[in-house]
């Protein structure tokens, strides 16, 4: 499975950027081999259209899942339309986020007006 995360530097021990799309780098981790590819994020500082550009970029890279602390409603729509899932990860190193994902410790975002089913 390929997982996309944005961050400030292309390093396993760098913190996940909680706002997907605004990190300086896009890290794509292959969770089967635990290898990663880092690309500079050319969309990190643009004012509008980040969702469109970034979703197209990660679809082209074959990403299955995005890990981030927050996605705007537009980001979520674009990713879901492309068949890409999203899980919430709180601040911390990429290494920890991937470990939490593999151990099923992450959750889907809770939508407003919908009650959580977690107990």
pLDDT score recorded for residue 111: 55
Per-residue pLDDT at 119 exceeds 90:
no
Task: Supply the pTM of this predicted model.
Answer: 0.84
d(CA 13, CA 24): 15
Per-residue pLDDT at 1 exceeds 70:
yes
pLDDT score recorded for residue 33: 94
Band of residue 112 on the pLDDT scale cut at 50, 70, 90: very low
Per-residue pLDDT at 115 exceeds 60:
no
The pair of three-digit structure tokens given for residue 54, joined into one six-digit string: 């970034």
What CATH number is given for 2-102 in this structure? 3.30.420.130
pLDDT score recorded for residue 3: 95
Tens of pLDDT along 29-48?
999 999 999 999 988 888 87
Domain boundaries defined on the chain: 2-102
Instruction: Provide, rounded to the nearest whole percent, the portion of the chain with pLDDT above 70.
Output: 91
For all residues of the chain together, what is the average pLDDT?
84
Tens of pLDDT along 57-77?
988 999 999 998 888 788 888
Which residues fall within 8 angstroms of residue 38, CB to CB, at 6 or more apart?
A: 10, 25, 26, 27, 28
> CB–CB of 88/108 below 8 Å?
yes
Angle between helix 73-81 and 50-60 (nearest 10): 30
């Amino acid at each position: 499975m390929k997982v996309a995360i944005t961050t400030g530097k292309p390093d396993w021990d760098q913190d996940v950027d909680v706002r997907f799309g605004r990190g300086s780098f896009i890290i794509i981790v292959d969770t089967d081999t635990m290898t990663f590819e880092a690309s500079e994020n050319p969309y990190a500082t643009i004012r509008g259209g980040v969702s469109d550009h970034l979703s197209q970029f990660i679809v082209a890279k074959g990403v299955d899942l995005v890990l981030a602390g927050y996605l705007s409603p537009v980001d979520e729509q674009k990713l879901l339309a492309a068949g890409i899932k999203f899980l919430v990860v709180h601040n911390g190193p990429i290494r920890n986020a991937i470990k939490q994902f593999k151990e099923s410790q992450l959750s889907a975002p809770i939508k407003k007006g919908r009650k959580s089913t977690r107990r």
